[in-house]
Amino acid sequence: MRSPKDFFGPLAVGAPAPVREVPARPSRMIHFFDPSNEKMAAKVPGMVGTVDVLLGNLEDAVKADRKEAARQGLVDIAKATDFGDSTQLWTRVNSLDSPWVLDDLITLVTEIGDKLDVIMVPKVQGPEDIHYVDRILAQLEARAGLTRPILVHAILETARGMANVEAIAGASPRMQGISLGPADLAADRRMKTTRVGGGHPGYLVRQDPATDLGEGVDPVTAERTTYQQDLWHYTIARMVDACAMHGIFPYYGPFGDIKDVVACEDQFRNAFLLGCVGTWSLHPVQVDIAKRVFSPSAEDVAHARRVKEAMGDGTGAVMLDGKMEDDASLKQCLVILELAERLSANDPELADLYAVDAPAAEGEGS
C-alpha cells in the first residue's frame, strides 16, 4: 500500500511534481483517430478547436503491422500541430502485456511529452498496473526534462478491473479519469452481446400478465409491453462513484453503431445524467452528438440560476414553480452552473446561450 505522502512527491529524481487536483478542462468528446491511417490523420489538424480532445489511438483498431507507423504518425502530427488552448492531445497506448507498450511510452514521452496531456491505458486490471505506468512515466519525464506531469486515464474493460475500480481510481495522483470499454468488458465477463456499447433488445422486463382478457385468451402468451433495460447501468454507476470519491472524471466510451445516431445520443445522455463528463467519438458524426449531450441545456442552466437566486444564502427551503428547493437541490444546481461556466470559458457560443460573461479575448478591452 502506498503512503498518502507518496502522492506529494515525484516518483523519480528530476520528474515534475504530481498534480494535487486534476485540471477540469472540457473533455466532452475524446475523438479517436488512427495515426497510421493517412486519410484520417490528414483530418486531425482541421479538427483542432472543434473537439475537446484528440486521441491518437495506438491499440485495438490499429492493425498489428501498422503499430510502428501509428506511433510515428502520432509523433509527426503532434510535432507539426499547434493544439491551442481548447483542444488537448491524448493517446491510447497498447496494453501492458503487449510487445509494443514499452516503445510506445518511451517514444511518446521522449518525443512529444510536452504536448501530451493524458495517456490512456487499456485493460487496467488493478492499481498495480497504474503504479507501473506511474513510475515509468516519472523516469521518462525526468529524462525528457518535462516540467508538467502527464496524466493517466484507465479503461475499465475486464471483470478484475471492474472489481478493483475504486483502487484503480485512487492509485496515483496522475489518475485523470476512467472510461468504460464495453466490448472487451463484455467479452471478459462472457456477456452475450456482440455490440460495441449501447443496449440490447433481449435485455428487458415485461409487463405483468393481464387478469381480465376474457375466455380462451391466455394472458401469459397474450401481447404485453416490454421495456428495454440498460445493460451498462451498474457498470457506469459504479465507475462514476469510484471516480467521484477520488476526485477524477468518469467517461462513457465507444458507441459502435455509427449509423444509429439516435441511440448513440440516448446512450451518451444516460451517461451524462449519471455523472459522466464526456464520451468517445469514433467518427466525425459523433462529435456534435457528444457536444450537444455533454453541454447542459440553456433551460437547465436558467433553472439552476433561478434556484441559486431564490436560495439566497444557500440554506433553508423555498417553493419555486410548485417544487421544494433546499440546500441539497441548490448543490445539484451548482453542478450545472459550474459546468456551464467552465464550458463557456472556451466557447463564446455557449457563453452566449447561457448568458455567461465570456472572458475578454487577448488584447481586447486594454
Which residues define the annotated binding site? Answer: 92, 157, 184
Q: How far is the CB of 68 from Mg ion (least distance, A)?
A: 20
SS3 state of residue 250 = strand
**165 binds, options Mg ion, ligand CQM, none, Cβ within 5 to 8 A by partner type:** none
- Amino acid letter, 158: T
Smaller CB distance to Mg ion: residue 165 or 333? 165
325 to 364: interface string for ligand CQM, x by CB under 6 A: ----------------------------------------
Smaller CB distance to Mg ion: residue 184 or 230? 184
183 to 222: interface string for Mg ion, x by CB under 5 A: -x--------------------------------------
Residue number with the shortest CB distance to Mg ion? Answer: 184
Q: How far is the CB of 285 from ligand CQM (least distance, A)?
A: 7
Q: How far is the CB of 102 from Mg ion (least distance, A)?
A: 19
Distances (CA, A) of 155 to 23, 38, 131, 252, 297: 19, 26, 15, 10, 28
CA 236 vs. chain centroid, Å, equals 11
Q: How far separated are the first and last CA of the chain, in Å rounded?
A: 53
Distances (CA, A) of 213 to 115, 175, 185, 219, 223: 68, 58, 43, 7, 11
Is residue 283 a contact residue for ligand CQM (CB under 6 A)?
A: yes
Smaller CB distance to Mg ion: residue 104 or 157? 157
Q: Give the C-alpha separation, 288 to 358, whole Å.
A: 22
Q: What is the DSSP letter of 225?
A: -
Smaller CB distance to ligand CQM: residue 279 or 346? 279
Is residue 188 a contact residue for ligand CQM (CB under 6 A)?
A: no
3-state SS of 139-189 is HHHHHHCCCCCCEEEEEECCHHHHHCHHHHHCCCCCEEEEEECHHHHHHHH
One of 52, 117, 157, 347 touching ligand CQM (CB under 6 A): 157
Instruction: Tell me the three cell numbers of residue 305.
Output: 440560476
| Total residues at interface with ligand CQM (CB under 6 A) | 22
Binding residues for Mg(2+): 157, 184
Is residue 259 a contact residue for ligand CQM (CB under 6 A)?
A: no
Q: Are 26 and 157 in contact (CB under 8 A)?
A: no
Is residue 182 a contact residue for Mg ion (CB under 5 A)?
A: no
One of 2, 38, 43, 147 touching ligand CQM (CB under 6 A): 43
CA 303 vs. chain centroid, Å, equals 26
One of 5, 20, 39, 192 touching ligand CQM (CB under 6 A): 39
| CB proximity list for 301: less than 8 A, separation 6 or greater | 336, 337, 340, 353, 354
Residues that bind Mg ion (CB under 5 A): 157, 181, 184
Residues that bind ligand CQM (CB under 6 A): 32-34, 39-40, 43, 57, 60-61, 155, 157, 181-184, 196, 253-254, 258, 282-284
